[in-house]
Amino acid sequence: MQRTTMDLWVGLFVVMGIIALMILSLKVGNLNVYNPSQSYVITGNFENIGGLKVRAPVKSAGVVVGRVTNIQFSTETYDAVVTMSMDARFQFPKDTFASILTSGLLGEQYIGLAAGGDEAMLKAGDKIMKTNSAMVLEELIGRFLFNKAAEDDSF
Amino acid sequence: MPKRIVSGIQSIGHRVIESIWRLGLASRFFILVLLKSGTSLRRFNLVIRELYFTGVLSLIIIVVSGLFVGMVLGLQGYETLQKYGSESAVGTLVALSLVRELGPVVAALLFASRAGSAITAEIGLMKATEQLAAMGMMAVDPIARVVAPRFWAGVISMPFLAAMFSVMGVFGGYLVTVVFIGVDEGSYWSQMQSAVDFRFDILNGFIKSCFFGVAVTAIAVFEGYDAPPTAEGVSGATTRTVVTSSLVILGLDFILTAFMFRGVS
Amino acid sequence: MESSISMTSDNLIEVSDLNFSYDTRAILKGIDMTMRRGQVIAVMGGSGSGKTTLLRLISGEIRPTSGYVKFAGEIVHELDRDALFKLRRKMGMLFQFGALFTDLSVFDNVAFQMREHTNLPESMIRDLVLMKLQAVGLRGAHRLMPNELSGGMARRVALARSIALDPMLVMYDEPFTGLDPISLSVIGNLIRRLTDSLGMTSIVVTHNVEESLKIVDYVYFIADGVIAAEGTPQEVRESVAPFVHQFIHGEEDGPVPFHYPTQAYRQDLNLEDSVA
């Protein structure tokens, strides 16, 4: 008698634990969007990656479509080679434009993809040709001040 | 007073040797428990019984603490992030803190003081009242029959408890920031989801809690089995379980974190 | 040596020149004993004389420093773990305060060994458990938990548990300690009755002279790790050996001194010049 109620509680405990793990995986960790088993890898060369980090999201139109898996420095071209693992459900044209963007003023940096119009799609191992570097705050301020000075001169 | 200094050094040396001795004893006991786990895996109802005592009875403290820790995290995170106008990132802060660190660690600390101390006291009292000796006399190995089921129940329940702690914490953070303060619900979840990675954060947190489960229950069963069979002996062993496992949890957490997240970010 | 009841002549237990010491402290020094089947044997001696150690040596819990214990023809300390556990199924032991499993009911305590060691169906276990409990007069208490039992009842349940698998030998470690006179004679009579009806052998370790002399067939006195005296209850009662006399009649001073050995009293009180 006593044993069955105890079994029930233990069963309930295990079910709750599994549900908690599932909530963590699906709701908190968003496992369903990014599944490494169905993915393809593409690379892109960036002049300056700013603060981009491995595992940063790759987004298109704000939707996460992949993740940065590796960042390396190329001694041939003297720029950064960023490897991205893309969700196999999303295919992008060959002339897709990749740029390093920042979410919010101080937020994380991510790669934004803007689809082009090419008929051919990017395949595994392909390289994105059109890239745009990260905005570096100092350059931005410098450019702003330079423009401001030029404007002042024109008066 | 050189004599006093000498005797002081002697007593320190004696204590060091003593603790190394106990460490060796504990390791041998741990191996013994693993070797004799066959019975508890074959007769799983023994483990289920202990799961009730270690897991189910720890639920309340884990769930309530998780909720409060999440609420505090949400409140503090909001206060800080709001200064930079990025209060929408509070979900990320709550979830990452919980899943990576606080969930496994705090759940393990609570587990050590709730279930670990109970395991030690129970085994220690069984020893003090000669129940373990009686079992041995009945040709039933107390390590296989009493210790191993408790050990495995602890190892199994720890990851579940840590996961529940994290989920309750995320919910607590949601409650405070979204429901009470009014952070946008969509950004709470979406920021969280884009920042928390399954493999790096959730799986690593899960692995951590498994390690903690093994460490806490191994310490608890050893201290109970090794306790001097007196009232003071059992109470001392119970205290040692909580103190030792808390230290081991925190130390182990540092080592595991260094292994898991090094070079990632 | 003759025994008042001569049953089967073969010996269940032979103890030969048994020595045991903790570190350098000798507990037992050259013990020789023979225990026949069907007998109730008392091992008596003062507190700390090594009686319990003897039981632990017989059950193989500890190994002798030298000498051996032979149980049913097998030398106990030479057995490996599995053989020892097999041997222990033929032994039962009643611990001082019963040592019932506090998380199991009376029924489950008695059923414990049957469930661990046999594959009997639950219905048969139920019948066997109730039979064992009936033998100790506690069939009606099978649903109670150990903390609901009095000291005497707990000891009777433990007795039922130790005879659960019909052992050849039951050892009793101070079975009379802390019992009221009624429970005391109930336990004493149970030991005698169960020994006779189940055809087993009983070793009673005790310092309760009155009760044990009523029920036993043979008595060993242990003092300072050696056998100080032995004989049938009749012989023991009439013994003039100083130790036995002191023990049986409970005299304060004698071969067992009242004072713990120490330096001279005068010296302790600094009445003489002490060594610096």
Question: What is the maximum alpha-carbon separation in chain C?
Answer: 78
For residue C211, is pLDDT > 70? yes
Q: Is A8 on the interface with B (CB under 8 A)?
A: no
Express each pLDDT in C161-182 by its tens digit. 988 888 888 998 888 887 888 8
**Full 3-state SS string of A106-124:** CCCEEEEEECCCCCCECCC
Subunits with 3+ C-beta pairs closer than 8 A to C: B
Sheet holding C25-36, edge to edge: C25-36, C11-22, C66-71, C74-75
Confidence of residue B219 (pLDDT cuts 50, 70, 90): very high
What are the tokens at B18? 């003593």
The residue among C250 and B147 whose pLDDT is bigger is B147
C208, C96 Cβ separation under 8 angstroms: no
Give the model's pLDDT for residue C9.
46
CA distance A155 to chain B (A): 37
- Of the two residues A104 and B82, the one the predictor is more confident about is B82
Residue B12, min C-alpha distance to chain A (Å): 45
pLDDT the model gives residue B216: 95
Contact A9, B56 (CB under 8 A): yes
> Within a domain: residue C123?
yes
Q: Is A9 on the interface with B (CB under 8 A)?
A: yes
**C178-199 pLDDT tens trace:** 788 888 888 888 888 888 888 8
Residues counted in chain B: 265
Q: Please, where are the H alpha helices in B83-183?
A: 90-96, 103-111, 117-128, 131-137, 142, 148-174
d(CA C264, CA C270): 10
What tokens appear for B257 in the block?
Answer: 């974190």
Instruction: Report the sign of the C-alpha dihedral through residues C17, C20, C21, C25, in that order.
Output: negative
Instruction: Please name which of B48, B231, B46 lies closest in space to residue B140, comparing C-alpha atoms.
Output: B46
Measure B128 CA to nearest chain C CA, in Å: 9
ipTM exceeding cut-off 0.90 for this assembly:
no
Estimate the crossing angle of helix B44-54 against helix B117-128, to 10 degrees.
Answer: 120
User: In terms of pLDDT, which residue wins out, A131 or C275?
Assistant: A131
Contact by Cβ (8 Å): C155, C185: no
- CA B116/CA B139 separation, integer angstroms: 27
**If we measure between CA atoms, which residue out of C199, C238, C262, C190 comes closest to residue C12?**
C199
**How many other CB atoms are there within 10 angstroms of residue C146's CB atom?**
21
Tokens of B102: 């606080």
Asked whether residue C59 carries a pLDDT value surpassing 70, the answer given is yes
Give the residue-averaged pLDDT of C66-74.
Answer: 86
Ranking A70-84, A136-150, B72-86, B203-217 by mean pLDDT, the lowest is A136-150
Q: Is residue A155's pLDDT more than 70? A: no
Q: Which of residues 93-152 of C touch B (CB under 8 A)?
A: 93, 95-97, 99-102, 112-113, 116-117
pLDDT score at B187 = 79
Token pair of B45 as six digits: 């109802």
Percentage of chain C lying above the pLDDT 70 cut:
93
- Note the pLDDT tens digit of each residue in C247-258: 777 777 776 667
Tell me the residue type at B264: V
* Average pLDDT for chain B: 89
Looking at the complex, does the CB of residue A14 fall below 8 Å from at least one CB of chain B? yes
Q: Minimal Cα distance from C82: which residue of B?
A: B139
Q: How many domains would you assign to chain C?
A: 1
Considering only CA atoms, give the Rg of chain C: 21
| Nearest alpha carbon to residue B57 among B1, B130, B3, B122 | B122
Residue C114 lies inside a defined structural domain of this protein: yes
What token pair was written down for A79? 């720029």
How far apart, in whole angstroms, are the C-alpha atoms of residue A100 and residue A96? 13
Domain around C140: 11-239
B-C contacts (CB, under 8 Å) = 50
| pLDDT at residue B265 in the model | 44
**Span C108-140, pLDDT tens digits:** 999 998 888 888 888 889 999 998 888 888 888
| Set of chain B residues whose Cβ sits within 8 Å of the Cβ of A12 | 56
Q: What is the pLDDT of residue C276?
A: 45
* C193 assigned to some structural domain: yes
Q: What is chain A's mean pLDDT, rounded?
A: 80
pLDDT in tens, A68-117: 888 888 888 888 899 988 888 888 888 888 888 887 666 678 888 888 88
Closest residue in chain A to residue B197, using alpha carbons only: A29
What letter represents residue A122's amino acid?
A: L
Give yes or no for residue A36 having a pLDDT over 60.
Answer: no
Lowest-pLDDT range, A48-52, B133-137, B251-255, C257-261?
Answer: C257-261
Helix (H, G, I), strand (E, B) or coil at B32: helix
Taking the alpha carbons at both ends of chain C, their separation in whole angstroms is 55
Distance from CA of A99 to the nearest CA of B (A): 18
Which domain CATH number covers C92? 3.40.50.300
Q: CA-CA distance, B20 to B26, in Å (whole number)?
A: 10
Query: Is the pLDDT score of C221 beyond 50?
Result: yes
* Range C211-240 burial, b when 16+ CB lie within 10 A, else e: bbbebbbbbbbbbbbebbbbbbbebbeebe
Residue B162's pLDDT band, with cuts at 50, 70 and 90, is very high
CB contact under 8 A, C96 and B130: yes
Mode of pairing for the β-strands spanning A130-132 and C11-22: unpaired
Helix or strand or coil: residue A124? Answer: coil
List, for residues B106-146, the tens digit of each pLDDT value.
Answer: 999 999 999 999 999 999 999 998 899 888 888 888 999 89
Average pLDDT, integer, range C22-39? 84
**Record: contact B56-A25, CB cut-off 8 A:** no
The interaxial angle of helices C106-117 and C122-135, nearest 10 deg, is 130
Sign of the Cα pseudo-torsion (B105, B108, B113, B117, in order): negative
Model pTM score = 0.77
State yes or no: pLDDT of C267 exceeds 90.
Answer: no
* pLDDT given at position C5: 43
**B265: nearest CB among A3, A53, A64:** A53
Which residue type is seen at C141? A
A28-52 average pLDDT score: 74
Q: How confident is the model at residue C70 (pLDDT cuts 50, 70, 90)?
A: confident
Residue B38 region by backbone torsions, left for phi larger than 0, else alpha for psi between -120 and 50, else beta: alpha
Q: B61 is written with which tokens?
A: 């403290």
Percentage of residues in chain C with pLDDT exceeding 90?
A: 3
Picking from A18, A25, A107, the nearest residue to B202 by CB comes out as: A25
Q: How far is the C-alpha of B46 from the C-alpha of B53, rounded, in Å? A: 11
- In the A/B pair of chains, how many CB contacts fall below 8 A? 102
Query: What separation in angstroms does the CA of C127 have from each of C111, C120, C124, C166?
Result: 10, 11, 5, 14
Query: Which chain B residues have a beta carbon less than 8 Å from that of A34?
Result: 197-198
Q: Is A78 helix (H, G, I), strand (E, B) or coil?
A: coil
Whether residue A22 contacts residue A14, with contact meaning beta carbons closer than 8 Å, is answered with: no
Residue A6 has its nearest CB partner, among B52, B198, B206, at: B52
Q: Read off the tokens for C275.
A: 């060594």
- pLDDT tier at C52 (50, 70, 90 boundaries)? confident
Q: What angle do CA B240, B242, B247 make, to 5 degrees?
A: 95
Token readout for B81 is: 């992030």
User: What are φ and ψ of residue B148, in 5° steps?
Assistant: -60, -45
Q: What are the tokens at C80?
A: 């490996």
Angle of CA points B123, B125, B130, to nearest 5°: 95
Tell me the helix, strand and coil percentages in chain A, rounded to 5. 30, 30, 40
Top mean pLDDT of A2-11, B174-183, C245-254 is at B174-183
Residue C151 carries which side chain, given as an amino acid letter?
G
**Nearest-Cα residue of chain B relative to residue A30:** B193
